[in-house]
């Protein structure tokens, strides 16, 4: 993992500052000794993925029944991206259908239509709620044709309503410059409390022996001659396990050097906005949003609005390959500070204490081919991975972790997960040979910009 103690002080998110009570698991296991006996499973990373894995493994009837499970985190639970995001649960694959089908050398995912449909319906199956997305008529038509042509999915439908009338789109969205929108059931949550709840359920399980150790940064993973796997936690000690799952997302390349050129960290920033009176009480926003060339945002029950910004406000060299979540860039702050005033209908004058009140950052992780790395790590017996969500993990990881737990139990890939997510030697070699690093987009002439939310002039979010 990166150097510890880290040479900077991380920003604190709204989610982290509002979950500090006695049940929050802050500093849980920080002073406890790591187990010296061999354990069945070690999960590295106690964000949403690690917590979901611990929860899934420790359920009655799951593969972890009667076994020992150790969760490790370099800092506290949900201390990194999971506790720093915008709280948005937003299926996105259907909005970027063309990018996922575009060649890797063009900045795309290199998939065929059936593989993209696997991901789209996987996301729908993962979440009861979907975020608001929009498409133009051309995008909707293309999606429909591809669905109808698929024997596997031609009878399945996605629940969404398109509004193409600008006046109605403006009325529904309350955004001044809206020209169209798409309405889909949306999802949001308090991610720090959610991760904590999953961890507590795992720790309280009667079916498995689950332990969680915070402030136990892993610095290396070693396959031993006897078939076991050791995890070096520096001064905290070494934990030896039968199976190890790496759930460290942006920091994975420090533990699995073979992913160094395949998993790209990216700095992302978010903020909390206290709404004006015209957007409070009965006038509060009733949906989540994804805005074309703008932010995504959610309405919290009692703390105002949480914004996750349009990412390419800053130059790419200032955000990619950055692991420092102490950084707040002035450009993003200024843009977010004025966004509501500039775009919401009748936002009104902000009184003292309203508007942008809290700004933080976090580090997410993009995979070279724009889809997660899941399953057994090639060349490392007993080591598994779930990472590289490209800023899109909340819509996928619940079912990914369920499927990965099944793989840990059976030794076989769970076909409930799109096969294109499987980490194979062939996939890694292909990505190295064909994929374009985001920092090289301009030099390589890439115009399909997944990272800035733009699919094309014809296919984009609202």
Tokens 């990373």, residue located:
45
**CATH second-level architecture of 14-85+191-263+369-441?**
3-Layer(bba) Sandwich (3.50)
Peptide bond before residue 5 is cis, with ω within 30 degrees of 0: yes
131 against 391, higher pLDDT: 391
- pLDDT, tens digit, 9 for 90 and up, residues 157-204: 666 788 999 999 999 999 999 999 988 766 789 999 999 999 999 999
Lowest mean pLDDT among 50-59, 267-276, 309-318, 452-461: 452-461
* pLDDT score, position 133: 31
| Three-state DSSP class for residue 35 | coil
Distant-in-sequence, close-in-space partners of 117: CB < 8 Å, separation ≥ 6: 146, 147, 150, 152, 153
**CB–CB of 83/199 below 8 Å?**
no
The structure's pTM equals 0.88
Cβ-based burial of 36 (10 A; exposed 0-12, middle 13-18, buried ≥19): exposed
- For the cut 70, the answer to whether the pLDDT of residue 150 exceeds it is no
Task: Using alpha carbons, list the distances in angstroms from residue 397 to 52, 83, 90, 371.
Answer: 8, 15, 12, 12
**Token representation of residue 418:** 């799109």
Task: Using alpha carbons, list the distances in angstroms from residue 304 to 44, 345, 358.
Answer: 33, 17, 11
- pLDDT, tens digit, 9 for 90 and up, residues 23-38: 999 999 999 999 999 9
362 against 416, higher pLDDT: 362
151 against 381, higher pLDDT: 381
Across the range 122-132, mean pLDDT stands at: 50
**CB–CB of 244/44 below 8 Å?**
yes
Split at pLDDT 50, 70, 90, the class of 73 is very high
7 against 153, higher pLDDT: 7
- The pLDDT > 90 percentage for the chain reads 64
Strands across the sheet with 305-308, in order?
Answer: 289-290, 296-299, 305-308, 263-274, 355-367
Task: Using alpha carbons, list the distances in angstroms from residue 265 to 95, 198, 322.
Answer: 23, 25, 6
Task: Using alpha carbons, list the distances in angstroms from residue 200 to 54, 78, 128, 211, 391.
Answer: 10, 13, 23, 10, 25
φ and ψ of 383, to 5 deg: -110, 130
174 against 455, higher pLDDT: 174
Distant-in-sequence, close-in-space partners of 289: CB < 8 Å, separation ≥ 6: 132, 173, 295, 296, 297, 298, 462
Spatial CA neighbour of 374 closest among 339, 403, 335, 338 = 403
Across the range 406-426, mean pLDDT stands at: 94
CA distance 301 to 210: 32
Split at pLDDT 50, 70, 90, the class of 275 is very high
CA distance 322 to 75: 18
| Three-state DSSP class for residue 229 | strand
374: β partners: 386, 422
Distant-in-sequence, close-in-space partners of 22: CB < 8 Å, separation ≥ 6: none
Task: Using alpha carbons, list the distances in angstroms from residue 254 to 31, 200, 382.
Answer: 24, 28, 18
CA distance 419 to 112: 12
Across the range 142-170, mean pLDDT stands at: 68
**CB–CB of 205/65 below 8 Å?**
no
Split at pLDDT 50, 70, 90, the class of 140 is very low
436 against 124, higher pLDDT: 436
Q: List the helix and strand counts (H, then E) for the chain.
A: 12, 17
- pLDDT, tens digit, 9 for 90 and up, residues 203-233: 999 999 999 999 999 999 999 999 999 999 9
- For the cut 50, the answer to whether the pLDDT of residue 128 exceeds it is no
* pLDDT score, position 352: 96
Find the helix packing angle between 48-57 and 191-203, rounded to 10°.
30
- pLDDT, tens digit, 9 for 90 and up, residues 79-118: 999 999 999 876 665 566 667 777 777 777 777 767 766 6
Find the helix packing angle between 137-148 and 113-126, rounded to 10°.
100
Across the range 144-150, mean pLDDT stands at: 52
* pLDDT score, position 137: 39
- For the cut 60, the answer to whether the pLDDT of residue 139 exceeds it is no
* pLDDT score, position 454: 38
**CB–CB of 124/451 below 8 Å?**
no
> Cα 221–226–227 angle (5° rounding)?
55
Split at pLDDT 50, 70, 90, the class of 16 is very high
Please name the helix (run of DSSP H) or strand (run of DSSP E) that holds residue 230, with its range, or none.
strand 229-232
* pLDDT score, position 452: 46
Across the range 250-272, mean pLDDT stands at: 95
Q: How much is the mean pLDDT over the chain?
A: 85
Tokens 């698929």, residue located:
150
* pLDDT score, position 155: 58
| Three-state DSSP class for residue 82 | helix
């Amino acid at each position: 993992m990166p150097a510890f103690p880290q040479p900077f002080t991380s920003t604190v998110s709204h989610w982290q500052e509002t979950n500090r009570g006695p049940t929050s698991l802050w500093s849980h296991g920080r002073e406890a000794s790591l187990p010296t006996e061999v354990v069945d499973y070690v999960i590295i990373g106690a964000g949403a993925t690690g917590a979901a894995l611990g929860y899934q493994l420790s359920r009655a009837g799951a593969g972890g029944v009667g076994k020992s499970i150790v969760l490790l985190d370099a800092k506290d639970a949900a201390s990194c991206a999971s506790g720093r995001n915008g709280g948005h649960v937003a299926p996105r694959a259907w909005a970027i259908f063309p990018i996922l089908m575009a060649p890797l050398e063009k900045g795309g995912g290199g998939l065929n239509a059936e593989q993209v449909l696997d991901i789209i319906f996987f996301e729908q199956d993962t979440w009861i709620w979907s975020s608001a997305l929009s498409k133009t008529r051309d995008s909707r038509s293309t999606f429909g044709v591809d669905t109808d042509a698929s024997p596997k999915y031609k009878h399945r439908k996605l629940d969404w309503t398109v509004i193409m009338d600008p006046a109605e789109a403006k009325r529904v969205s309350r955004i001044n410059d809206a020209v169209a929108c798409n309405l889909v059931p949306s999802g949001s949550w308090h991610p720090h409390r959610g991760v904590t709840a999953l961890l507590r359920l795992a720790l309280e399980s009667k079916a498995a022996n689950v332990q969680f150790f915070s402030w136990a940064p892993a610095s290396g993973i070693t396959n031993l001659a006897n078939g076991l796997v050791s995890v070096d936690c520096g001064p905290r000690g070494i934990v030896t396990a039968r199976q190890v799952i790496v759930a460290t997302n942006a920091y994975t390349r420090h533990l699995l050097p073979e992913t160094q050129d395949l998993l790209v960290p990216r700095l992302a920033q978010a903020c909390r906005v206290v709404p004006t009176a015209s957007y409070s009480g009965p006038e509060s926003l009733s949906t989540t949003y994804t805005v074309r060339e703008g932010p995504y945002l959610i309405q919290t029950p009692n703390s105002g609005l949480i914004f996750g910004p349009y990412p390419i406000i800053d130059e790419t060299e200032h955000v990619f390959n950055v692991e420092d979540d102490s950084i707040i860039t002035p450009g993003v702050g200024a843009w977010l500070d004025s966004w509501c005033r500039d775009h919401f209908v009748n936002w009104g004058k902000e009184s003292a204490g309203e508007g942008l009140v809290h700004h933080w950052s976090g580090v997410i992780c993009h995979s070279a081919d724009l889809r997660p790395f899941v399953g057994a790590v090639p060349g490392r017996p007993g080591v598994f991975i779930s990472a590289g969500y490209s800023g899109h993990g909340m819509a996928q990881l619940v079912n990914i972790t369920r499927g990965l737990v099944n793989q840990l139990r059976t030794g076989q890939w769970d076909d409930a997960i799109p096969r294109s997510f499987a980490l194979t030697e062939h996939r890694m070699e292909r990505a190295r040979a064909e994929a374009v690093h985001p920092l090289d987009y301009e030099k390589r002439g890439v115009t399909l910009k997944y990272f800035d939310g733009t699919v094309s002039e014809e296919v984009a979010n609202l």
